[in-house]
Amino acid sequence: MRLTTITLFTLAVLFVAATVPVAGQENVSVVAESQAAAEGLDLHAVAELFSESNDLEAFEKSLNDKTLGVNNLDLDGNDQVDYIRVVEQSSGDAHVVILQALLSSTESQDVATIEVDRVADNSYQLQVRGDPVIYGVNYYVAPAPIIQVRLWPIVGWMYGPVYRPYRSVFYFGYYPRYYRPWTPVRIHVYRTRTVHYTTRRNFTVVRASRVTSVTKVGYRPSSSRLVKKGAVTKTHTSASGVQTDVTKVGKQGTNLETGRTKVTHPETGQSRVVKGASRTRVNSNTGTKTKVSAGKVKGSKGGKKTKVKKTKTEKAKKKPG
């Protein structure tokens, strides 16, 4: 009887401990660099369009075809899909096809490159490289081993006897007749539109370059200050019940250093930033500017010094005109 009473008491204690929040338990938001913009242009779908095109002019048209739905990029956040211009550079048998999003009359952002090189009479190397600003570092889409690149119409055209490097004649504000800007769709709609491209398994993501000889082309990426990155938050819950929100930020004037951790206490609601972080956030509606930085104060646990979040809010200065 005594043993049973002790067992029931132990189970009751364990139940209470499991249901009552632990004082030290915290919700952790890991702030990472945002590549949310990459969700507007799936490079698997781009590679499929390239393999089906007869030449780069047709490829550019397919990229900007609303009915195909491959392009859903809105890098400058103006609620209109950006026109993607195709420009090519070559040196010998090495070709770099550059996909540029036109953001203003003076600025463009390279989104990706398609790199092709002929290593033998009927042997070619090919990869689609995502620009690090949009896709992060070392993001490549390459053909599966069974794919015969030499059979693609566009490859035969690029290595034909009368070939000349292609450069689009279009620029910001001057587009082909078939093109009319449209509003980007939500990510789940976009994935539904492109699923017939992305499920073919003709291409795979790799983390190392397979076409190293294209460096002789001398390509230099073009970047724009107008690129705005979206905010994506994913929540993970550990076995102990601690929730971790992995947040990708950067939209609406937010500039946040990467690799930082924001810790929020579940009971007090107070936050602290671990490993030091600094950001400036501008509210597009009120014009309020908030600066968040890391400082050192005595923490509540063991008297140790921890880094906490400090904020300084002021009205953002309006640009002339």
Mean pLDDT of the 256-274 span: 49
Among 13-22, 53-62, 149-158, name the one with the lowest average pLDDT.
13-22
User: How confident is the model at residue 121, as a pLDDT?
Assistant: 86
Judge whether 62 and 55 are in contact, CB under 8 Å: no
Question: What local confidence, expressed as pLDDT, does residue 298 receive?
Answer: 38
Phi, psi of 157 (to 5 degrees): -70, -40
Residues 29 and 50 in one domain: no
CB neighbour list of residue 52: distance below 8 Å, 6 or more residues apart: 62, 153
Q: Do 201 and 233 belong to one domain?
A: no
Range with the lowest mean pLDDT among 68-82, 158-172, 263-277, 306-320? 306-320
Same domain, residue pair 195 and 257: no
Q: Residue 294's pLDDT band (boundaries 50, 70, 90)?
A: very low
Domain end marker among 168, 197, 217 = 217
**286 lies in the same domain as 307:** yes
95 in a structural domain: yes
Domain total in the chain: 2
Which residues neighbour 293 within 8 Å (Cβ) at sequence distance 6 or greater?
Answer: 277, 278, 279, 309, 310, 312
Q: Which of 169, 186, 217 is the last residue of a domain?
A: 217
156 pLDDT more than 90 = yes
Residues 142 and 82 in one domain: yes
> Do 242 and 212 belong together in one domain?
no
pLDDT in tens, 215-249: 889 999 889 999 986 534 343 445 555 544 443 43
Confidence (pLDDT) at 92:
92
* Residue 11 belongs to a domain: no
Indicate the DSSP class of residue 302: T
Shared domain for 156 and 207, answered yes or no, is yes
Q: What is the pLDDT of residues 96-137, one digit of tens each?
A: 999 999 999 999 999 999 999 999 888 999 999 999 989 999
Provide the residue range defining the domain that includes 187. 36-217
Q: Are 104 and 163 members of one domain?
A: yes
Q: Of 188, 217, 246, which marks where a domain is finished?
A: 217
- pLDDT band of residue 271 (cuts 50, 70, 90) is low
- Residue 5 placed within a domain: no
Residue 104: CB atoms within 10 Å: 12
pLDDT of residue 166: 96
- 109 and 205 fall within a common domain: yes
Q: How many CA atoms lie within 13 A of 24 on its CB side?
A: 5
